């Protein structure tokens, strides 16, 4: 998974030639048989790699969610660190298993992957499971159906939430928006109305910034912690902020601004 490689691969004992056990992050030896019958993901990463360090907490959250819902999955960390101390410093923040530190192991496992699962996990979270090319096609087809379907609940809501919020935190049913022209405003408190030259930060960095944005806006929003914000950014291929997208009375896209999106990286929506 680390380094932009796909993580799902059939692993058998012959591929682990020379490796006698896995390690827990407490340094305990775990039998190789512990992963038999499980979907096994190989996570290539290193402590010196900043994108790896940024990605690991997201993967921990997804791994925990999958474990809690009974998914038969295990992740094996394969270190690309330069020394044993760096390996352990990186591994201590992980909840899964690892192969013992060996600079030669990466050569055995670093080829033959069919899909970039890091991007898949970043975009779809736990829904990316089981991290295959087929699953990517399924998820992309679902996004396409949402984009063309004109159903506001599928776009703005989720299983746990059928409302949006006002600046004073009043819940407004998404159903109340049906039959209206709905504008989706993509922005962040740190970003001025003019294009944000050279900005790379993604989204409001905390709930305080989100609330500061909301205090100056008369419209509605998706709650700050809700993943529907990232979903909309992905579905509508938002490339930068500020950005504005118009949904017609039928819930389908009527207009999407592209001119003001030239200078920023994509970030989640916070205005409706």
Q: Where are the domains of the chain?
A: 2-136, 150-261
Render each residue's pLDDT in the chain as its tens digit; 272 residues.
544 343 444 445 435 546 788 999 999 999 888 888 888 888 889 999 888 888 999 899 999 999 998 899 999 998 888 899 999 999 999 999 998 887 676 666 654 555 568 888 888 888 888 888 899 999 999 999 888 887 888 888 888 899 998 888 899 999 998 888 888 888 777 666 544 443 333 466 677 778 777 777 888 888 887 778 788 888 888 877 777 888 888 778 877 664 444 333 333 344 45
CA atoms of 221 and 64, how far apart (whole Å) = 28
* CA dist 242 → 95, 218, 220, 270 (Å): 38, 17, 16, 11
Q: What pLDDT sits at residue 14? A: 34
User: What letter does residue 47 receive in the DSSP assignment?
Assistant: T
Query: What pLDDT does residue 201 have?
Result: 31
Q: In sequence order, which residues have a C-beta less than 8 Å from that of residue 268 and are 6 or more positions away?
A: 186, 202, 203, 229, 230, 232, 233
150-261 maps to which CATH number?
A: 3.40.30.10
206, burial (CB in 10 Å: exposed 0-12, middle 13-18, buried 19+): exposed
Give me the pLDDT at residue 231, please.
86
Q: Which CATH architecture has domain 2-136?
A: 3-Layer(aba) Sandwich (3.40)
Tell me how far apart the alpha carbons of residues 168 and 221 are, in angstroms, rounded to a whole number.
11
Is 150-261 in the same CATH topology as 2-136? Answer: yes
In degrees, rounded to 5, the angle at the alpha carbon of residue 140 between the alpha carbons of residues 112 and 7 is 25
Distance CA 220, CA 166 (A): 5
């Amino acid at each position: 998974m680390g380094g932009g490689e796909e993580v799902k691969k059939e692993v058998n004992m012959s591929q682990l030639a020379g490796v006698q056990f896995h390690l827990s992050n407490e340094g305990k030896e775990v039998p190789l048989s512990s992963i038999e019958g499980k979907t096994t993901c190989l996570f290539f990463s290193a402590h010196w790699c900043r994108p790896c360090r940024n990605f690991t907490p997201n993967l921990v959250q997804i791994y925990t969610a999958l474990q809690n819902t009974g998914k038969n999955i295990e992740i094996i960390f394969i270190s690309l660190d330069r020394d044993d101390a760096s390996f352990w410093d990186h591994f201590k923040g992980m909840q899964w298993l690892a192969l013992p530190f060996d600079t030669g192991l990466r050569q055995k496992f670093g080829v033959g992957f069919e899909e970039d699962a890091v991007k898949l996990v970043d975009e779809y979270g736990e829904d990316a499971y089981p991290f295959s090319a087929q699953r990517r096609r399924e998820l992309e087809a679902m996004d396409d159906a949402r984009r063309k379907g004109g159903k506001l609940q599928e776009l703005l809501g989720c299983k746990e939430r059928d409302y949006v919020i006002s600046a004073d935190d009043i819940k407004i049913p998404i159903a109340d928006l049906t039959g209206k022209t709905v504008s989706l405003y993509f922005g962040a408190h740190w970003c001025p109305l003019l294009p944000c030259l050279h900005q790379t930060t993604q989204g409001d960095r905390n709930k305080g910034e989100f609330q500061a944005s909301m205090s100056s806006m008369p419209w509605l929003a998706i709650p700050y912690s809700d993943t529907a914000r990232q979903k909309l950014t992905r579905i509508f291929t938002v490339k930068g902020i500020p950005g504005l997208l118009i949904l017609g009375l039928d819930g389908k896209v009527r207009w999407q601004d592209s001119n003001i999106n030239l200078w920023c990286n994509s970030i989640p929506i916070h205005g409706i």
